[in-house]
Amino acid sequence: MQKKTSFLIPVPELFSFSECLWFLNRDFDDCMHTIEDNTVLKALSIDRNLMVLSVSEDIGQLKVEVAYTGNRAEVLLAAKSYISGWLDMERDIQPFYTLLQNQKKLAYMTEAYSGLRLIGISDLFEALCWSIIGQQINLTFAYRLKRRLVGRFGTAIEAGGKACFLFPKPETLAEADITELREMQYSQKKAEYLIGLAGLFAKGEMNKAVLENISTFAGRQQALTAIRGIGIWTANYALMKSMRMDEAIPYGDAGLLQALVNHELIKDRKDQAGIDRLFRKFKGWESYLVFYLWRSLSHKPV
DNA sequence: CTCCAGGGTAGTC
DNA sequence: GACTACCATGGA
């Protein structure tokens, strides 16, 4: 990683790097990036180019420094495209803010979380693994499980004295031993789900292109839920975070329901009619609403 | 000790 | 299609 380059990305309207950074850094210990001094470090492997991005803010622009191996032109292109997609920088979110302002109980979000973007997980395999790991356990534990998996099967890359990790490759995880995952405190079922999923990706039976070739939202949901361990919640989570499908709502999500109750938007967790009524008002921005409601679960430090 | 956490599956009716 | 038991494990 001797080679270095850097560039700037102009920041769009209603974009706040510090809000995005805060979400990335909230209360948890995510092993897929490192944050220090208002700078986020992230390792990537794109088309055989290896890179570590260092992203910070510099007077209305994002300053991106890249340490890499590989082709410079390809790295620049890939890095720009990755960050823009990761932080959802090319979307005009004003229409969403207008919808929020029409809701008495949610209008405060346009000020409180102003400029927060839906942080994505570009790698579909990673997004699916992460959502399987997170099923039915608290997030603190889920992040710990992910860290163990990535530490054991992922690739560590040194950057500025800090270790950044690439998520494990499907081929690697497909060969993993269930007992080894059990020792990392994965349940028997989750170990089976993850290794099975890795096998599908390794064989090319599932990947982003496969989903992109399916034209309808429902069709993509079906393709995902056909996989063992992936139910409707996991499918929608991945469609939201990786495929960036605006209409994806992770129904039944414990955090989402909690946030809806907190805001007194529904009577109780079973009030599906109330949930539908609300989301109907956010056509095209459903996933953004979910994301902002998740954001509301972690209160801002003073 | 109990209840819950950013669920899913398999079985039953 | 809806309801139910069961899975598994740490946190509060």
% of chain A at pLDDT higher than 90: 91
Instruction: Please give the nucleotide, over all strands, whose C1' is closest to the CA of residue A257.
Output: B6
Average pLDDT of A3-25? 96
Whether the CB of A225 is less than 7 Å away from nucleic strand C comes out as no
Query: Both tokens of residue A232?
Result: 């409707």
Residue among A253, A268, A271, A276 flagged as catalytic: A253
pLDDT at position A59 over 90: no
pLDDT at position A302 over 60: no
Given phi > 0 = left and psi -120 to 50 = alpha, else beta, which region is A161? left
According to DSSP, the residues that pair with A67 across neighbouring strands are A4, A52
Give A248's contacts (C-beta < 8 A, 6+ positions apart).
A217, A236, A237, A239, A240, A286, A287, A290
Whether the CB of A222 is less than 7 Å away from nucleic strand C comes out as no
SS3 A226: coil
Q: Write down the H helix ranges in chain A.
A: 17-25, 72-86, 94-101, 109-112, 124-133, 139-153, 170-174, 178-183, 188-202, 208-212, 217-225, 232-241, 254-262, 272-280, 286-297
pLDDT at position A301 over 80: no
Q: What is the pLDDT of residues A228-253, one digit of tens each?
A: 999 999 999 999 999 999 999 999 99
Residue nearest to nucleotide C10 (CA to C1'): A141
Whether the CB of A270 is less than 7 Å away from nucleic strand C comes out as no
Instruction: Please give the nucleotide, over all strands, whose C1' is closest to the CA of residue A255.
Output: B6
The DSSP secondary-structure symbol of A231 reads: -
Asked if A44 and A154 touch (Cβ cutoff 8 Å), the reply is: no
In this prediction, residue A38 carries a pLDDT of 95
Q: Is A268 a catalytic residue?
A: no
In this prediction, residue A298 carries a pLDDT of 87
pLDDT at position A6 over 80: yes
In this prediction, residue A268 carries a pLDDT of 87
Whether the CB of A136 is less than 7 Å away from nucleic strand C comes out as yes
Q: What is the pLDDT of residues A252-275, one digit of tens each?
A: 999 999 999 999 999 888 899 999
SS3 A6: strand
Starting at the edge strand that comes first in sequence, how are the strands of the sheet with A34-36 ordered? A3-10, A61-69, A49-57, A39-46, A34-36
Q: What is the spatial distance, in angstroms and rounded to an integer, between the CA atom of A260 and the C1' atom of B3?
A: 20
User: Around Cβ A272, how many Cβ atoms within 10 Å?
Assistant: 11
Query: Both tokens of residue A236?
Result: 């929608």
HEC-encoded secondary structure of A59-91: CCEEEEEEEEECCHHHHHHHHHHHHHHHCCCCC
Average pLDDT of A144-164? 91
Average pLDDT of A152-175? 92
Whether the CB of A179 is less than 7 Å away from nucleic strand C comes out as no
Query: Both tokens of residue A198?
Result: 């890795």
Q: What is the spatial distance, in angstroms and rounded to an integer, between the CA atom of A44 and the C1' atom of C2?
A: 45
Asked if A213 and A205 touch (Cβ cutoff 8 Å), the reply is: no
The DSSP secondary-structure symbol of A38 reads: T
Whether the CB of A185 is less than 7 Å away from nucleic strand C comes out as yes
In this prediction, residue A300 carries a pLDDT of 59
Q: What is the pLDDT of residues A29-50, one digit of tens each?
A: 899 999 999 999 999 999 999 9
Q: What is the pLDDT of residues A106-139, one digit of tens each?
A: 999 999 999 999 999 999 999 999 999 999 999 9
Query: Both tokens of residue A63?
Result: 């300053």
pLDDT at position A27 over 80: no
In this prediction, residue A26 carries a pLDDT of 87
